[in-house]
Structures are given as structure tokens and as C-alpha cells.
Amino acid sequence: MARVRNNQGHRNKIANVFIRPYIEQENTQEREAYLQARETVKPLQDKTWQLASTMVRKHYTPEDIKMAYHLQNKFENVDTIAKDSCFHFGYQGQEESRDNNDKPIMKDKYIESHFDFKLNGNINGQENGRQNDFAYAYFRDELKGKVNKGDKCNPDINIEQKWGDGSGEENKSNPHWTQVDQANERELGLSGGKENQTSYSREWNNDYELDLIGREYCRDRSIACTEQEFKILVAWKEEKGQFIMAHYKYIKSVLDQMKEIFYLGEGMQITDKVRKEISDLLEKGFKPNLKSKGKPRAFNNGGAVMKGRGPKFKGTT
């Protein structure tokens, strides 16, 4: 039994150190779609943020903000203003309904949704809950190969767990998944509040903050907008979802190729195809590098160019 376990560990090492990095670098449609989506998603967020900021400032004018800070600084029992990055926007629209005779009619309805600009902001339109898939997809290069407090980071962990063994059945929640997910969160600063933010989350989130008046959170900050403005906000949120899906399809294609290379039956023997892949890689001088050389990328809407690996762009004002 020990020999089989050693063989399996040896195969996994070959796969992860030699084969997978090579497959990930192939110019496939899935990889290209992911890279293109990553290049355009933040400029779109910057543009959408400009629209959101304009709408918020119509609701909470600079004069209102100044007065709120004045009162808050003057009275100890006043706590009415804080910085935030998420909002409820809505407009008076209509939705299809049915009358007493079951005939279709249109009824007036206030249509509203939640929009969160933070790095781990959700895209489901609900206020509660965060999701890390966007952050893992965007900072994939920066996470890959990193070790945080002794735990390895893996930006593809959620996709790998969903993929399972390629049979269509997801892996169940397990300690390894939790350990890697927490390492990712610590590296990007997604957990523990502002005190635990790293340069990734801090520089991202600082680009999307406004002073808002309200009790707490954003549940009492419903801000009116037009239907067209609402559609622009929804389109931005959908674009984030498409970027997450592009990451999923890219990694799934890598995992599918890995499954084709290895025979996953009883005994899990390395195939001749694997040996040839390794031989070809070594002849080409391939030297796998699982660690990112990229530095934390800069995010400044005033025009700073992104640093490090991955897409480069200039922010907008």
C-alpha cells in the first residue's frame, strides 16, 4: 500500500509541477477569454463608479456631508456618517402581473437592487453575504504559489472543488478546501475587517468609498435613479459575473485536459503520454515556476498604471 501512495504522490507532483503549468500557458480560447475579461472588468467598474458617485452625491450633497460631520464632531451621541462602498439603487417601474380573470396586466412597482463595489462584493443583488470568486479570479497571478502563515494559497480552489474528479459531482466541504480558502482570504485581506486588509483589498476598496449619511450599513440608503442608470449598474454587475465564469471555464478546461492525460482507474498508472509530455517539456527547456513574481498592483482612479503581471490599464477620473 505504501508503494501505491508514493506513486500517487509522485504523479501529483509531476502533474502540478510540470504538466499543469504548461497546460495553463497554452493559448486556448478559454484562457484568452479569461485574460480579455480580466483586462476590461476594472475599467468598466471605474466607469460605473463614476455614475454611482454622481447619483449618490445628488442624494447626499457635499453640503449635507459637511453638516453631518459638523454635528457628529460636536455631539458625542451623534453617529450618522461613515464611508461605504455599497448602495441600494432603485426606480419606479412596472412589472407584469395577473388580474382577477388571470389576464396579464402591468402594475407599478419600485424596482431596487444592491450594488457592492468592494473587492469581495456580492453580485446577487442582496445586501448580506460576500463572495470571493471575483477576487480570486482577478488576483490569480498574485495568489498563485503564495504561502500565508504556512498555508498554500490557490486562486482556483473553488473551481477545483466544484469540478471534483470531472464526473460532474462536486467535492464535499472538507478541511483542505477551508484551509486554502482562508489562506487566500488572508493574503488578499478579505476577512477580519479593515484592520486586516492587505494592499490588495485596501488599494481596491479605497478607490470606491463615499461618505454616506445613515444609521448603519446600507439598508436605509435607498437612492433613486432612472431606469437607464439602473440598467447600466446591472450590466456592470453582470460583467463581473461573466468574468467569474470565464475564470471557471478556463480552469475547468485545464482540469479536463489533466484528466485526459492521466488514467484515473485502479492503480492510477502514469501513461506513456505523460512521460512524453515531460520529456518534451524538458527538451524545450521548460522550467516551471509556481510562484508569482508580480508585486501588488496599484489602483488609482487618478491615472496610475497597474503594476505587476496581468492586464495593464490606466484608471479613469
Residue 15 resides in a domain: yes
Residue 108 resides in a domain: yes
Domain count along the chain: 1
Pairing of strands 210-213, 151-152: unpaired
Nearest Cα neighbor of 218 from 91, 92, 113, 111 is 113
Residue 180 resides in a domain: yes
Residue 317 resides in a domain: no
- Higher-confidence position of 209 and 272: 209
Residue 219 resides in a domain: yes
pLDDT band at 141 (very low <50, low <70, confident <90, very high): very high
- Higher-confidence position of 7 and 16: 16
Residue 316 resides in a domain: no
Residue 32 resides in a domain: yes
Per-residue pLDDT of 249-281, as tens digits, reads: 999 999 998 887 765 444 445 556 656 666 666
- Number of Cβ within a 10 Å radius of residue 37: 21
Match 477620473 to its residue by C-alpha cell: 317
pLDDT of 188 strictly over 60: yes
Per-residue pLDDT of 269-314, as tens digits, reads: 555 665 666 666 666 666 655 444 444 444 444 433 333 334 433 3
Amino acid 278: pLDDT: 63
DSSP 16: I
Residue 293 resides in a domain: no
Rounded to whole angstroms, the Cα distance separating 15 from 276 reads 13
**Residue 275 lies in domain:** 2-283
Amino acid 150: pLDDT: 94
Per-residue pLDDT of 71-96, as tens digits, reads: 999 998 888 888 889 999 999 999 88
pLDDT of 217 strictly over 60: no
Entry pTM: 0.79
